[in-house]
């Protein structure tokens, strides 16, 4: 399979008005990509687009009509980076129906709908790449995050399966899975002190991982410390043992603190 070149590639990036999205956009601009940036905050999008010479489309991915409007306005796309996501933290019984539906639409359905619309043309051209920004929460479940875990587990399964499906057509698919990100995103907004030995990564490191995944055609790239990656892998191999270890290390207490601090964002 021919590796994707980002110089001159037409890239659609969702969630571009967030901190991680902005870092990805700036990294891709340095690669010479032609960017279509989308997000909910038009003021931030417009400023970023002006800085990078990109196009901006203010879109709410929770609304299906808006997803269709995005596809119509984006035009021909070589690379999709599905980065937008809602926190969706909290115990299920405390989440209202609107929050459940919103998380499912933005975190899971919208990336699938975008891929469904864009992949056939990529396959017909024999080139293209789809990147899904997942999370280590797509490997390691935690109490108080059942809905968020569900969307990220689902996104991971979709991405890895779609990769096998599109490989014969010359289209790459990658999942980039950050752990805790220091200055942007859901963890940064809570300002929770992490347990000893658990470190963070920067938005720029996530952006570097996105570029690496595309140009090297990597199926899955974790952006986290070795200890966090090993813990996530253990959750796949021995979920019961991993759950007990997580409780012993204070993981459930951490999850409940996330729930408390993000409650006002619902």
Query: Could you report the per-residue pLDDT of 210-227, keeping only the tens digit for each?
Result: 999 999 999 999 998 776
Query: What pLDDT is recorded for position 266?
Result: 45
pLDDT single digits (tens) 148-189 = 999 999 999 999 999 999 999 999 999 999 987 876 556 555
- In a 3-state reduction of DSSP, which class is residue 132? strand
CATH superfamily membership of 10-265: NAD(P)-binding Rossmann-like Domain (3.40.50.720)
Of 45, 6, 63, which Cα lies nearest the Cα of 29?
6
Q: What is the pTM of this model?
A: 0.86
Q: Is the pLDDT of residue 1 over 70?
A: no
Region 77-94: what's the mean pLDDT?
91
How sure is the predictor about 198, in pLDDT bands with cuts at 50, 70 and 90? Answer: low
Full DSSP string of 32-74: T-EEEEEES-HHHHHHHHHHHT-EEEE--TTSHHHHHHHHHHH
Query: What pLDDT is recorded for position 7?
Result: 96
Q: Is the pLDDT of residue 74 over 80?
A: yes
Query: What pLDDT is recorded for position 93?
Result: 87
148 catalytic residue (yes or no): yes
Task: Out of 148, 158, 187, 258, pick the active-site residue.
Answer: 148
| Alpha-carbon separation of residue 33 from 36, 96, 103, 259 (angstroms) | 10, 40, 29, 38
The residue ranges of every structural domain in the chain are 10-265
Q: Is the pLDDT of residue 34 over 80?
A: yes
For residues 195 and 250, give the distance between their C-alpha atoms in angstroms, rounded to a whole number.
8
| Alpha-carbon separation of residue 6 from 94, 211, 214, 260 (angstroms) | 43, 8, 8, 41
Q: What is the DSSP letter of 13?
A: E
Of 31, 30, 78, 29, which Cα lies nearest the Cα of 55?
29
How sure is the predictor about 147, in pLDDT bands with cuts at 50, 70 and 90? Answer: very high
For residues 15 and 266, give the distance between their C-alpha atoms in angstroms, rounded to a whole number.
18
Full DSSP string of 195-208: PTT---B-HHHHHH
Q: Is the pLDDT of residue 260 over 70?
A: no
pLDDT single digits (tens) 116-132 = 999 999 999 999 999 99
């Amino acid at each position: 399979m021919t590796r994707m070149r980002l110089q001159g590639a037409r890239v659609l990036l969702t969630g571009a008005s967030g901190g991680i999205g902005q870092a990805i956009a700036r990294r891709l601009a340095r690669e010479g990509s032609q960017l279509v940036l989308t997000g909910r905050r038009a003021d931030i999008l417009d400023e970023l687009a002006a800085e990078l010479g990109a196009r901006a489309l203010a879109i709410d991915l929770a609304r299906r009509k808006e997803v269709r409007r995005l596809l119509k306005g984006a035009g021909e796309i070589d690379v999709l980076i599905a980065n937008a996501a809602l926190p969706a933290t909290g115990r299920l019984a405390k989440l209202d129906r609107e929050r459940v539906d919103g998380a499912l639409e933005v975190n899971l359905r919208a990336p699938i709908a975008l891929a469904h619309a864009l992949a056939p043309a990529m396959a017909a051209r024999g080139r293209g790449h789809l990147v899904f920004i997942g999370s280590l929460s797509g490997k390691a479940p935690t109490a108080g995050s059942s809905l968020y875990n569900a969307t990220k587990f689902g996104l991971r399964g979709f991405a890895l399966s779609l990769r096998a499906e599109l490989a014969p057509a010359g289209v790459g698919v990658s999942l980039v899975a950050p752990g805790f990100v220091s200055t942007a995103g859901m963890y940064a907004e809570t300002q929770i002190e992490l347990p000893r030995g658990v470190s963070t990564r920067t938005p720029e490191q996530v952006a570097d991982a996105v570029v690496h995944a595309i140009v090297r055609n990597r199926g899955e790239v974790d952006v986290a410390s070795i200890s966090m990656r090993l813990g996530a892998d253990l959750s796949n191999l021995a979920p019961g043992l991993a759950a007990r270890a997580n409780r012993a290390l204070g993981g459930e207490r951490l999850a409940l603190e996330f729930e408390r601090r993000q409650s006002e964002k619902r």
